[in-house]
Structure 1
Amino acid sequence: MQEPFDQEPRLAPAPSSATALARRLAHQKQIAEFGTYAFTEPDYQAVMDRAVELAAEIFDVPLTKILKFVDDADSLKLVAGRGWDDGLVGHGRVGIDRESQAGYTLLSEAPVVVTDLARETRFSGPPLLHEYSVVAGMSVIIAGAAGRPFGVFGIHDTRARRFDESDADMLVTLANIVASSARQREAAERRNLASREVAHRSGNLLQLVRSIASQTFTTDRVTREAERVFSGRLAALSRANQLLCEDGWSTTRLIALVKEVLTVFPGRVEIQGRDIVLPADFCFDLSLILHEVATNSAKYGALSREAGVRASLSWQLEAGADGRSQLVLTWHDPVTDAAPAGSARAGTGFGQRLIESLAEHKWAGRVKETRGEGHQGYRLVLRLPAPQPEPRSPPAGSHTSG
C-alpha cells in the first residue's frame, strides 16, 4: 500500500534530525557530482550504470533498475541495474500493463511508493519482484522526447521501510539527469546523421518528385485537376520529410507520422494503435501510402461526406509465419465506393501502382482490398514486415562500456 508522505509506518525509529540532515546534504552533493559527470560523459550506458549504482548507495537498497520503453511499445527492457542475477540486465523485460509496478508508474504523474508489496492493491507486481522477495520500493518515470517516456527508474528493498517525500524528490532528480543525458545523446546523433544524409535524401526526393510529375501530368488529365493532385502529393511529401528530419531521419513514432499525414482531415479519421517506433525510410514510404488512401476517401468515401461520417485507421504488430514481426495496418471506410472502381487491384491508377510498388515490391508486404462485403464498406489491409530500427552509431569520442 502507498503511505502518505506525512504518515510514517510503524518501523524502527528514524535517525536524529542532525544525522538525517547531514545525510541528506551528502546525498545532494553526490547527485550534483553525478549531474556533472552525466553532462560530460559521452557513453550513455555508462551514465545509466552509474545512476543505478548511486541509487543503491544513496537509498541503501539491494536492487535498483532502469527500464527502457521498447520501440514495440509492448514492454520495458531492463537496460541497467544492480543486484539482479547475471544475464538479466540487457535481456529482462517487464510488462507495461497496470498489474506491474512499472506499468502503473508509466500512467502516474507522481512517484509510486510501496511500503509493503504483499499488501499492495493498486497492482500485483511482476513475478520478478516477488522472486527477489521485494517488500518496499519506489519508481518514477524517466521522461523522453515528444511526450513518449524513455522508461522507469526503480529502487527496491527486501526490508520493510519508509520512503518520504525527500527520498522521492532525490529519485526524481536522478531520473531527470538520466533523461537529460539521453536527450543530449540523441541530439548529437541526429546532428551527425543529418549531415551525412542530407545530400542522399535530397537526391532521392528529387527523383521521386520527377516520377510523381511524369505520372500525374498525363495527356488525358485536365490541367487544373493534375495541378491539384500534384500539389497534394508534394504537400504530403513535405510534411513527412519535415517530421522525419526533426527526428534526425533515424526513427519515428508511427502515431506522430499518422497524425501528420492526416492533419488535413482533422477529426475525420479514428486512429488506434500502439505508440511504436519504426525506421525513417519505412515511415516515409508509409506516409505516401496513407496519403493516397486518404485522398481516395476524400474523393469517393467518408472524407467526401458530411462531418459525421468518419473513416478509421488502426495498426498492430503480429508474428508472421516466419516468426518475424509484421505491421498490420487497416484502413476502413464505411462508404462502399471509397475507392474508384478503376482503382481495384487490377487498376492502372498511379496511386494504386504507388501503393503496390512500395508495399509489395519494396517492403515485401501484402495488400488486400475488400469492398462492399457484408455492408462493411471499403477496407484496405497492409501486412508489412516490420523492420527494426538500426542501432545508432555513437557520437564521435564515445566508447562502449565493458
Structure 2
Amino acid sequence: MYPGEGATTPSPAGDSPDELRLRAKQGELIGEFSRMALSGTSFDDLLAAAARIASDGLGAPLAKVLQYMPGEDTLLVRAGVGWRPGVVGHARLAGDLGSPAGYALKTGAPVISNHLSTEDRFRTPALMVEHGARRAVNVVVRGQRAPFGVLEADGRDPGQFSRRDVVFMEALAGVLGLAIEREADAAQREALLRDKDLLMQEVHHRVRNSLFLVQSLLRQQIRAATAPEVRDELEQAIRRVSSIAAVHRQLYSGGSLGRIAAAEYLGPLLRDMAASSPERPVRLDAPPSLAWSADRATTCGLVVTELVLNALKYGRGTVTVRVEPGPDEADSIAVEDEGPGPPAGFDPAASTGLGMRILRALLRGGIELDRSAPNARFVARLPSARAAPDPGQPPTA
C-alpha cells in the first residue's frame, strides 16, 4: 500500500466503461506529452504542459510541478494549474518528510493521500488548505542524477486517487525527467563552450603577447645593426610577425573565435605598414562581408604583407590591395602600385628573393605578375580551403 493510501483498488476485471475511457485518455495524454518533449518545446512550456496534463488526466482541478531547492529544503511551485495568481513561480512548500510532496521527494516513493483532513502521517500545506484540496497524489520527478522535484495533482471532491493514477503520474513524470536531463545536458554543454571560448581567448592573448615580445627583440637587433641591408631584413621580419600577431588580436577581441573579417583584419595591418612610408598611400578594397578562418587569415595576412612590402620598396605612388572572394575561400588578392613594375625578364616562379620564396610556399606557386596591367600588379591566388595539402608545403587553411 502506498503511503497514505486508503481503500483498495478495484481489479481490472471490474473496470467500468468510464474507467476504461479514463485510462485510454491518460494513455493519449502521455503520448501527447512525449511528442511535445521530443519536438523541442521550451522547458518552461513543458513544465506548464505537465501540470495541465496531470490535471486533465486525473480530472483534478489543481496540479503543480514542484522544483526542489536544496539550499532551502523547500519545493518551489514552478508550474501549475488552478492556483490563484502569484502562486506559480513564487510559493514554496516545505521539503521535509512531514508533507506529502516532501515525503515523495525524500523517499522516492509515490504518495496517495485521499483524506488530507484526517491524515495523521502528513500535515496538509497551508496552500492546499487555502485552495480546498481534500486529496492529493504525488510522484517524484527523477532524472539520471538528483531528483528535480515532485509532480502533484489535488482534488477538491471526496473521490479516490488509485494506484493506476500513480502509474499515469509516474509515466508523465518519467517523460518530464528525461526532458529535464536533456535541459541540464544542454546547459552543461553551453557552459563548456563558454569555458572553451574563454580558454581560447586567453591562448590568443598569450600568443599575441609572445609575438609582441619577438617584435621587441627584433627592434633591439635593428638598433644594434650597422649594415643597411640587415636593418631592412629585420624590418621586414617585424612586419611578418606583426601580420600574425594581428590575427590573434582579432581572435582575442572579436565577437567570433572562429572567423575573422578580412577588412577589419587587413585595414589596421595596412595602416601600420603605410605609417613607415607616409608619402605612399595604401588603399584596401575588400568586401565587408568576407571572413576567413584563423589559418586562412594568417596566410592572407602574410601574402598581403609580402606584396605590399615589395610595392613600397620597389614601386611608386599609391598601393592598392584588392581582395576578391572565390568559392570555398579560393580568394584572390591583387596588389598594385603606380610604378612600371619589374623588368621584362622577371618571373615570380623563378625569383630567388626571400619575399617571393615565402609567397610561393604560402600559395603553392599561385603567384603571378599581371603583364596586361599598365602598372605593377601582382596577383596571389589562394587555393581552395578543401584542397589537399601539397607535400612539403605549409597548410593555408
> Where on the TM-score scale, by shorter chain, does this alignment land: which range?
0.3 to 0.5
- Larger Rg, first or second structure (1 or 2): 2
Q: TM-score, length-normalised on structure 1?
A: 0.46
Structure with more contact order per residue of length (Cα contacts < 8 Å, sep ≥ 6): 1
